[in-house]
Amino acid sequence: MTAATNSVTSAATSAATNAATSAATKVRTRFAPSPTGFLHLGGARTALFAWAYARRHGGIFILRVEDTDVERSTPEAVQAIIEGMEWLGLTPDEGPFYQMRRMERYREVVAQMLKDGTAYYCYCTPDEVEAMRERQRAAGDKPRYDGTWRPEPGKTLPAVPEGRKPVVRFRNPQEGDVTWDDAVKGPITISNRELDDLIIARPDGTPTYNFCVVVDDWDMRITHVIRGDDHVNNTPRQINILKALGGELPVYGHLPMIHGPDGEKLSKRHGAVSVMEYPLQGYLPEAMLNYLARLGWSHGDDEIFSMEQFCAWFDLGHLSKSPAQFNPEKLAWLNNHYIRQAEPGRLAALVRPLMEQDGARFDSAPDLDSVLALLKERVKTVNELAEAAMLFYREPAPEPALLSQHLTDAVKPALLAYAAHCMTIDWKKEALAAMLKEVLAAHKLKMPQLAMPLRLMLTGQLQTPSIDAVVELFGRETVSARLARFLG
């Protein structure tokens, strides 16, 4: 970690080219979560877009943990974020870097800014600043720092109060505008009059949030800042500080929020949960990635695509300006698609522990891969698949009432004939299907009249995939034993 931190630090000196506009410069993006909670859908989508943009341009994707809020940051949250990214395969090329390990660097930059005159000490106490704001509000003005300690040519500053530790403020330009062409929102202009002289270091010397972000983006030579639009208000402040440092501006792109299906802010019930809830519920990472990719970005009408395809397509020009809406049904639909595509062996490894928890025994039962191949068409989640597959791995216990309703004296002779044929028949689905048809014809019965009691005797349920497929999978021995149990 130390080596990595150092290499980032020394990079600062060479950060003077505008990487975003120079074709020769490598794209460098970052995902910069604050580890105050799990990785939720919004964060995962930001990470995905930053990662995909780097992949698209043969660039570098950086993970930076913004852990300076020591009250709210936890190692568990760091772990949860890293796990979430690992599950999705969003592997950083550099990092994780931790802001708490870069304090020395921030102090160094603050010292340099004080020397350069782009920052200054301010000895106002929080109470004084509050009183200042009260006065401004009372006078109908916008509350802001009044520049008491801001050095100006020919201005005499107040005497330094004894024993008082100052904050450091950024000397924000007072005239002109800050303008950037947001990759998502288009051109944005903010007047410098709207911006205060931001505190960049507290009385104890610890740097503040916006300042750390700028130093990091500068040192890490970030070319494209892709982040949620809850940060759009920070951007003009960050741009001014970056300019004061002599850094070139990255491209900024602010992603619109993700709303719930009801159009409201994402709630716990709808996606405001850890992405790691999704594997627990039986979602495959490629379904989640495909889903997130379309959340605020589009490529014509394409809905289903691989990450390889996405990385080849992804651009900032097709990001939507309006909030995206989380649609759990669509996620489930994609999950079904990817479950159908998945290798049976992979699915088996996922369902096996779930089924074992449910009491499944795999010793004499049918081959799990074949069972999954049969069942995977209709399920939305791996958990549903595990549940459906249990059909083949537990002793059937049909409800007596159902059994007597379907296993009537009228159909028993046909079932006995079926059981007898089962002893000798070539155990293939086609042969079994033909045999069942012959038995039906010979006893003048309709399909459900035999299929239903067969289902009940073999699985205990009335809902199963095609009876011939079920019979084939169970195999001769199990089928004969189960029929014998009920038919005597």
User: Residues in the site for ligand GLU, rule: CB under 6 A?
Assistant: 32-34, 66, 213, 227, 231
- Please report how close the Cβ of residue 209 comes to ligand GLU at its closest, in angstroms: 8
Query: Which residue in 26, 165, 265, 268 is the catalytic one?
Result: 268
For the chain, state the CA radius of gyration.
Answer: 32
Residue 104: alpha-carbon gap to chain centroid: 32
For ligand GLU, which is the closer residue by CB, 231 or 443?
Answer: 231
In angstroms, rounded to a whole number, what is the distance separating the alpha carbons of residues 436 and 207?
78
User: In terms of DSSP H, where are the helices of 93-182?
Assistant: 103-116, 126-138
Which of 345, 433, 342, 348 is closest to 393 using CA atoms? Answer: 348
The shares of helix, strand and coil residues in the chain, as percent rounded to the nearest 5, are: 50, 10, 40
For ligand GLU, which is the closer residue by CB, 213 or 287?
Answer: 213
The answer for residues whose C-beta is within 8 angstroms of residue 347's C-beta and 6 or more apart is 339, 372, 376, 382, 385
Is there a catalytic annotation at residue 268?
yes
CB count, 10 Å around CB of 352? 16
- Please report how close the Cβ of residue 247 comes to ligand GLU at its closest, in angstroms: 15
Which of 61, 59, 57, 53 is closest to 91 using CA atoms? Answer: 61
For ligand GLU, which is the closer residue by CB, 35 or 398?
Answer: 35
Going by the DSSP 8-state scheme, the letter that residue 394 receives in this structure is S
The strand pair at 167-170 and 119-122 is best described as antiparallel
In angstroms, rounded to a whole number, what is the distance separating the alpha carbons of residues 84 and 100?
22
For ligand GLU, which is the closer residue by CB, 78 or 425?
Answer: 78
For ligand GLU, which is the closer residue by CB, 226 or 385?
Answer: 226
- Please report how close the Cβ of residue 77 comes to ligand GLU at its closest, in angstroms: 11
Residue 236 · residue 187 · CB < 8 Å? no
Beta bridge partners of 60: 28
The residue sitting closest to ligand GLU, measured at its beta carbon, is: 227
What 3-state DSSP class applies to 201?
strand
CB count, 10 Å around CB of 277? 13
- Please report how close the Cβ of residue 36 comes to ligand GLU at its closest, in angstroms: 8
Q: Which two tokens stand for residue 407?
A: 């296993």
For ligand GLU, which is the closer residue by CB, 64 or 406?
Answer: 64
- Please report how close the Cβ of residue 281 comes to ligand GLU at its closest, in angstroms: 25
For 6, list phi and psi in degrees, rounded to 5.
-65, -40
What 3-state DSSP class applies to 195?
coil
Q: Which two tokens stand for residue 155?
A: 């201005």
For ligand GLU, which is the closer residue by CB, 50 or 385?
Answer: 50
Helix 209-219 vs helix 2-11: angle between axes, to the nearest 10 degrees? 80
Residues marked active site are found at: 268
